[in-house]
Amino acid sequence: MAYNENIKIGDLLNHEEAFAVLQKHLPQFVSEPTFKMASNFTLDQLVALPQVNIPLSTLEAIKNDLAPIGFVAEKTPQTHAAPSSRKNDASLEGKVIIVTGAGSGIGRASAVLMSARRAKLVLVDFNAVTGEETLELVRKNGGEAVFVQADVSRGEDVQNYIQKAIETYGKIDVAFNNAGILQKFQPFHEISEEEFSRVIDVNLKGIFFGMKYALQVMEKQGYGHIINTASTTAIRAEHSLAAYTASKHGVAGLTKAAAIEYVRKGIRINAICPGGVATTLTAAVPQSLQESGYVPEEFPNMRIGRYAEPEELAELVAFMASDGSSYMTGSIIVADGGLTL
Ligand SMILES: NC(=O)c1ccc[n+]([C@@H]2O[C@H](COP(=O)([O-])OP(=O)(O)OC[C@H]3O[C@@H](n4cnc5c(N)ncnc54)[C@H](O)[C@@H]3O)[C@@H](O)[C@H]2O)c1
């Protein structure tokens, strides 16, 4: 087949003679990443882009040089692989996944679901009793997992569970940094330094350590995916929860900053933002308010009319951990029953 105007830039870049023609006429441009990003465009579409400065005379000269070159005709129109021809993207078979905060709530529900989808898990929690319970649950259902007790706010503990993952399974596909704590509802000016540090240490520094030490492994591997649990308070403030809001805004910041740095290294980083989920964390709120005698002026409004079950968040986590999320990085994904609307 001779060159025609429907042939895509990607096909030209992958064709030795055609690539030589592009290199001759557009020497600097061909080595630029933007050129590869345009691989789905035709030459005419590329030249029509306002930010691309290729004179029409150059375009004509390229086409003239391409004219005698033979191309292999495509048998079927090459779109992205059709869903039916892709492997089962919901399956987590063969993936090694770390789950922090695995002893309760979103972490436990995610661990149970992801092990049912055949992931091998490294379960991490501060609380050894509830962590071991999750391990039991996973094993009872025929899943494969180990449990490591760790305080995510301590760098040595995080290094220890990362090491355990490598010793046990030899790789890390996904690190789900989920452990977190809620702050006491309080007016801003009454938050003690101690309370501020407690929340930041677990919710922000804990995520930082979980990312840093997973990234050290993933960078060597050349692949990996980090999923951080943020919150709707990563996007908008919640009344009387300044330290928690700051910690979760920080999680969104770490997620986006790392996503930019590692996007070309085969590593994706995303964050999920639950609204209100029925877990131990939210169950403790009424008693804590009663004890403090303080009532915030506003409470989160789940417009859907109910809290989420942790299993509903687990579905999102399992999807994110699968190859089905392959085009997502730096995403701050809201699952909040309409809270942020
Ligand atoms: N429940 C909600 O409404 C809600 C909403 C938005 C975001 N989140 C976030 O979801 C995540 C999970 O919360 P959850 O609702 O499942 O709470 P949860 O209290 O049921 O579970 C949290 C787990 O993290 C563990 N943990 C706490 N501090 C730890 C530490 N320093 N090191 C290791 N493990 C530690 C706890 O022992 C517990 O097992 C948290 O990051 C939380 O901020 C929860």
- Distance between Cα 99 and ligand 1 center (Å): 11
pLDDT tens for each residue of 42-97 = 899 888 877 778 899 999 999 999 999 998 875 544 333 334 444 556 789 999 99
Mean pLDDT of 28-48: 80
pLDDT tens for each residue of 245-281 = 999 999 999 999 999 999 999 999 999 999 999 999 9
**Percent of the chain whose predicted confidence (pLDDT) is above 90:** 77
Ligand 1 atom nearest to 154, measured from its CA:
31
Residues 254 and 161: their CA atoms lie apart, in Å, by: 21
Positions marked catalytic: 244
> Ligand 1: which residue has its CA nearest to atom 23?
101
DSSP state of 205: I
Residues 172 and 247: their CA atoms lie apart, in Å, by: 26
Q: Parse the chain into domains and list their residue ranges.
A: 9-66, 96-335
Across 32-46, 164-178, 221-235, 291-305, least confident range: 32-46
Task: Ligand 1: list residues with CB < 6 Å.
Answer: 100-101, 103-107, 125-127, 130, 150-153, 178-181, 202, 206, 229, 231, 274, 276-277, 279-282
- Distance between Cα 156 and ligand 1 center (Å): 20
Query: Which helix (DSSP H) or strand (DSSP E) does residue 148 occupy?
Result: strand 144-149
- Distance between Cα 112 and ligand 1 center (Å): 16
Ligand 1 atom nearest to 277, measured from its CA:
3
Please, which residues bridge with residue 175 across strands?
Answer: 98, 226
- Distance between Cα 101 and ligand 1 center (Å): 6
- Distance between Cα 177 and ligand 1 center (Å): 10
Choice from 161, 280, 281 to test ligand 1 binding pocket (greatest atom count within 8 A of CB)? 281
Mean pLDDT of 90-109: 96
Q: How far is CA 174 from the centre of its chain?
A: 9
Residue 171, phi then psi, degrees to nearest 5 = -165, 165
Residues 188 and 243: their CA atoms lie apart, in Å, by: 8
Asked if 117 contacts 91 with a C-beta cutoff of 8 angstroms, the reply is: yes
What does pTM read for this prediction?
A: 0.86
> Residue 266: which residues within 8 A CB-CB, separation 6 or more?
218, 221, 222, 223, 224
Which pLDDT band, with edges at 50, 70 and 90, does 142 fall under?
very high
Q: What is the pLDDT of residue 89?
A: 61
> Ligand 1: which residue has its CA nearest to atom 14?
105
Choose which CATH entry (3.40.30.10, 3.40.50.300, 1.10.10.10, 3.40.50.720) describes domain 96-335: 3.40.50.720
Choice from 181, 185, 204, 340 to test ligand 1 binding pocket (greatest atom count within 8 A of CB)? 181
Ligand 1 atom nearest to 278, measured from its CA:
1
Q: What is the pLDDT of residue 78?
A: 38
Average pLDDT of every residue of the chain: 92
Ligand 1 atom nearest to 244, measured from its CA:
43
Q: What is the pLDDT of residue 208?
A: 99
Task: Decide: helix, strand or coil at residue 228.
Answer: strand
Closest listed residue to residue 228, CA positions, set 159, 282, 180, 162: 180
